[in-house]
Structure 1
Amino acid sequence: MEFSHDDNNNLPLTKFESMLKTNHVLFFDSEEFENIIHHYLNQGKIALAKKAIKLGLDQHPTSINLRLFRVEIFVFENKLIEADKLLSELYAIDPTNEEIYIQKANIFSKKDDHEQAIEVLKQALELTDDVIDLYSLIGMEYLFLDQFENAKTFFMKCLEADMNDYSALYNVIYCFEFLNQNEEAISFLNEFLDKNPYCEVAWHQLGKQYYTLKDYKKALTAFDFAIISDDTFVGAYIERGKVLEKLKCFEDAIENYTITLKLDEPTSFALLRIGNCYEKLGNEDLALQYYDRTVHEDPLLDKGWIAITKFYNKRGNHQKALFYINKAINIDSENVLYWKLYSQINQRLKFYEEAERGYKKTIELGNFELNTWLSRGDLLIKLGEPEAAIFNFEQAVVFYPDNAEIEFRLAGIFFTLKEIDKGTFHLKNGLKNNEDYAFIIDELFPNLTNQPIVKNILKKIYK
């Protein structure tokens, strides 16, 4: 039994907490202690649960259930040897108690021996008629093993026993999604809805499957039924808004997102999407107003800052765009796309050193796109750092061997440094790989085109 301070049945809890304050020991029967301990564990108040277990065992030293609570605490605290020893003692007393098997499975699970945990839980199934929790525990152990088909089977068993077990329903759909079985998930959900037609969660999940498959009209219908089943279901309005955006029905999308603001506390996601819809409709004032509300609601939402960055960047206000991209990077400094945008904005502002730093950071974060190497190298050339540019392009060659755009750049740098042999080597390589990119020499190194050796090598394509 769960206690509540608004519950008339919470007298044992009140009495217990009063006892702790006065140090005056009162008597409780073992079931009262079990309810008190269960309450504290559910509340995450482990210290109080441990006190209740100790006092309970002082008064009822032979209680198996109270000793099982001690096992649960041992497992929680990772004292697995103590837990195992106590379970062995309890098994010798009551070998048909399914809770002993559940705690034994918990120990195996803590040791990452999930297969053994499953075997023990299956033994427990034979000892009880209350199978739903055990099916769920077995399903979770299969998830730990990445055995999604087996996990799905057991979560489905939970639903067969209790169609209102939404946790199991979510887990079933998670398995379908991980296995990329969207069509199968749709079939399953339709069968489920035939038996439980007013289950808003199932309609919501069905809509998400159709959305994944880009069948937006069916997704919209499913979300409509989710809302009919529960017209306060915020998630359904959000998903419906996303579908309407895909269908370019931006005003209707705004209406759905706005409903969520009235049903619950405003979410930064809904505010951001409303701003995006207004921007698509060309209403810049309202778009910016909602973007501002987004970052006010959640200053740590980097996507909000990015939306404002892109808003100003598109309109050529690069100084403001730079201010907001820095906000986004301060929140998520490992995001490659943010650093690329940072570099592009700085480049437009002619802040070349900062732009180069941004491209360097994207490379350090594992972004090895050709354009990143080229953009950084060109900036290093502009900044008068030929050695650093050479090193950059030589790294790029590892990822893009025989790339003419890189070869012509290396040729230009080496000729500029009077390293004629290396310049000749790379220039010939560039021509061999793709002579169409020879314009790079004219564009980046205009002073070289009149040098006799460069002229002679290039003359065959300029005849």
Structure 2
Amino acid sequence: MALDPSENPDKSIIKFESMLKTDDVYFFDAEDFEEIIHYYLNQGKVGLGKKAIQIGLQQHPHSAELKLLKVEVLVFEDQFQKAEGILDQLQEVDATNEEIYIQRANILSKQDNHQGAIQMLLEALHMASDSFDIYSLLGMEHLFLENYEEAKQCFMKCVEYDETDYSSLYNVVYCFEFLEDFEGAIHYLNDYLERNPYCEVAWHQLGKMYCSKEMYQEALTTFDFAIISDDSFLGAYFEKGRVLENLGKHNEAIECYETTISMDDPTSHAYLRIGKCHEKLGNDELAKYYYYNTVHEDPLLDKGWLAITEYYFRLKDYKKALNYINKAINIDGENPMYWKKNAEIFSILENYDEADFAYKQTVELGNYELDTWKNWASILIKLKDYESALQVVLQGLEFYPEDAKLNYQLPGLYLKTENTPLAKEKLGLALQLNPGKSVLFLQLYPEFEKLKWVQESIKTNKKAST
């Protein structure tokens, strides 16, 4: 049986290390060697574990358990061929040893053959008297294959075997979440809590499921039960705070977050939530204080810099807002929302070249929101880059083919690029799609208001619509 990494070395390990230092040779039972090897492997001291395996096999050359431990190390080091050779030898001697199949499954899993690993684990399951660990491994292999229903059933069996196996309980809930079966998760957790009414982990997970369904009052009750079950459970206080925020009870939410800070080292996430609450309460100076504490606690928390950005943006201090959104971008330059905020600020500051670049980054990183296309096109029009604006509007229309503003922007841009036939065609289409919003065209392009064909198109459309 493997020792816990926190356990102190026992007499066997002290004796073994003494032997290594003195070059004396001491005899150990095979079980002693297993204990020594497990201790070193759990401590991450693989070199000493390998040394113990070597000496152990010299003293007990026929020990299947020691050979299996050698296989475990070989697999860890990706020496699959050597490991398979030992497993073949062991299987010739004892084909009913489930550990052989478990190690073969481990090899297949590391080679990304998860279906093969599942087959090996099923073989092991037929031979095992204790199937708990095997079901846990099966569950993980099914997760690799995104077979969430099968994984869920495996982890449920683990929980049936040991209701304090919280790792498996978390995995069951994870599977329910991924399947978007929140009702199923709620039913499962309530059933579990009937048998384990003081399990703070289950109450906590149940509360999160209620939050997913926006059942905030029920969530609040479950987080309270989690706290009753364990009044030092920080996660329950934090989630309760989030629920109270959703219910508009910001002062009570602050109390929950402050509890987490008083019970343990303060976290940037707690400071951030307190700042958000104070901002909602109109306590601007306190909000700013906690936002700055957020980034002081964790300078790499980009959400903290974003919160400060939004704070100054709301106060119309755009230069400070720009400074802080750039800090967020420096931390996570792959976040399109940061680039979008960057573009918005540059636009207000009338730095249109930088705004154009930022919108380009926004779209390249996958933000295709309607206002992104509209605002980017408007920036390019201000830069008099009508060809680029035309391409942006055409891309936007691929996502929002019936949007009025984009449809009325298009004919004007064709006019700007001297393509009158397409301008006429697209204005006619815009008037068909959104007949009551022809004023948009005139607002966007007042310079074309006096064109005869424009006046006739709009006039004809108005007659047709009445």
TM-score, normalisation: structure 1: 0.91
Amino acid across the alignment from 1:393: V
**Aligned equivalent of 1:298:** 298
Matched, 1:320 2:324: no
Check the 8 A contact 1:135/1:155 in 2, yes or no.
Answer: yes
Q: Indicate how the Cα distance of structure 1 residues 440 and 18 shifts in structure 2: closer, same or farther if over 3 A, else same.
A: farther
Residue of structure 2 equivalent to 1:263: 263
Provide the C-alpha distance between the structure 1 equivalents of 2:262 and 2:299, rounded to a whole number of angstroms. 21
User: Relative to structure 2, which stretch is displaced further, 216-225 or 175-184?
Assistant: 175-184
**How many angstroms apart in 2 are the aligned matches of 1:363 and 1:46?**
48
Q: Kindly indicate whether the alpha-carbon contact (under 8 Å) linking 1:3 and 1:10 is maintained by their aligned counterparts in 2.
A: no
Q: C-alpha distance in 2, partners of 1:263/1:235?
A: 12
2:220 is aligned with 1:220: yes
The unaligned stretches of length 5 or more in structure 1 are none
Q: Which amino acid aligns with 2:97?
A: N
Change (3 A) 1:153 1:452: closer
Is the Cα contact below 8 Å between 2:387 and 2:417 reproduced in 1? Answer: no
Contact 2:30 2:63 in 1 (8 A): yes
Question: Structure 2 stretches of 5 or more lacking a match?
Answer: none
Deviation at 1:454, TM superposition (A): 4.2
**Residue 186 (structure 2) pairs with residue 186 (structure 1):** yes
* Matched letter for residue 277 of structure 2: C
Provide, for residues 286-333 of structure 1, a one-character-per-residue CA deviation record: whole Å limited to 9, x for no partner.
111111111111111111111111111112111111111111111222
2:96 aligns with 96
Q: CA RMSD in A?
A: 2.6
Amino acid at match of 2:380: L
Deviation at 1:441, TM superposition (A): 4.1
Q: 8 Å contact 1:203–1:222 — kept in the other structure?
A: yes
Structure 1 Cα separation of the partners of residues 218 and 423 of structure 2: 61
Counterpart for residue 150 of structure 2: 150
TM-score, normalised with respect to structure 2 = 0.90
Matched-pair contact (CA < 8 Å) for 2:5–2:43: no
Q: What does the per-residue CA deviation read over 1:345-381, in whole Å, with 9 as the maximum and x for residues that have no partner?
A: 1111112111111111122122233332221122111
Other-structure match for 1:340: 340
When structure 1 is superposed on structure 2, of 44-53 and 317-326 the one drifting more is 44-53
Tell which deviates more after alignment, 399-408 or 328-337. 399-408
1:24-63 correspondence runs (5 A): 25-63=25-63
> Taking structure 1 as reference, are residues 156 and 403 closer, same or farther at Cα in structure 2, changes over 3 Å only?
closer
User: How is 1:9-28 mapped onto 2 (pairs within 5 angstroms)?
Assistant: 9-20=9-20, 25-28=25-28
Secondary structure of 2:248's match? coil
Equivalent residue for 1:427? Answer: 427
Q: Which amino acid aligns with 1:392?
A: V
State the one-letter code of the partner of 1:276. Answer: K
CA distance in 2, matches of 1:107, 1:286: 55
Determine the structure 1 residue equivalent to 2:3. 2
Tell me the CA shift for residue 122 of structure 1.
Answer: 3.5
User: Residue 193 of structure 1 aligns to a residue in which SS?
Assistant: helix
| Distance in structure 2 (CA, Å) of the matches to 1:428 and 1:47 | 78
Q: 1:410 to 1:126 in 2, by over 3 A?
A: closer
**Deviation at residue 53 of structure 1 after TM alignment:** 1.7
Query: Whole-Å Cα distance in 2 between the matches of residues 184 and 5 of structure 1?
Result: 38
What is the CA–CA distance in structure 2 between the aligned matches of 1:299 and 1:198, rounded to whole Å? Answer: 38
CA distance change for structure 1 residues 410 and 136 in 2, over 3 Å: closer, same or farther?
closer
Cα displacement string for residues 39-72 of structure 1 (whole angstroms, at most 9, x for unaligned residues): 2222233333223222322332222111111111
Q: Secondary structure at the match of 2:438?
A: helix
- Tell me the distance in 1 between the aligned counterparts of 2:415 and 2:295: 51
The amino acid that maps onto 2:3 is E
Q: Is the 8 A contact 1:416 1:448 kept in 2?
A: no
Contact 1:223 1:239 in 2 (8 A): yes
Please list, as runs of the form range in 1=range in 2, the aligned pairs for 1:6-405 lying within 5 A after superposition. Answer: 7=8, 9-20=9-20, 25-401=25-401, 404-405=404-405
Amino acid at match of 1:233: F
Return the alpha-carbon distance in structure 2 between the equivalents of residues 28 and 375 of structure 1.
Answer: 76
Q: Aligned pair in 2 of structure 1 residues 450, 255: CA closer, same or farther (>3 Å)?
A: same
1:112 to 1:443, Cα distance in 2 relative to 1, 3 A: same
The whole-number CA distance in structure 1 between the counterparts of 2:4 and 2:401 is 69
Secondary structure at the aligned position of 1:341 is classed as helix
Q: Give yes or no for contact 1:276–1:287 (8 Å, CA) kept in 2.
A: yes
Structure 1 position 24, deviation (Å): 5.3
Secondary structure at 2:434 match in 1: helix
Separation in structure 2 between the aligned mates of residue 155 and residue 292 of structure 1, nearest angstrom: 43
How far the C-alpha of 1:172 sits from its partner, in A, is: 1.7
Displacement after TM superposition at 1:92 (Å): 1.8
Q: Deviations over 1:206-238 (max 9, x none)?
A: 211222222222211111111111111111111
User: What is the distance in 1 between the residues matched to 2:54 and 2:319?
Assistant: 65
Q: Tell me by how many angstroms 1:5 deviates.
A: 7.9
Separation (CA, whole Å) in 2 of partners of 1:21 and 1:325: 58
* Aligned counterparts of 2:435 and 2:126: Cα–Cα separation in 1: 76
Letter in 1 for 2:243: V
Q: CA deviation at 1:277?
A: 1.0
Secondary structure of the residue aligned to 2:279 is: helix
The letter of the residue matching 2:170 is Y
Q: Distance in 2 between matches of 1:421 and 1:209?
A: 57
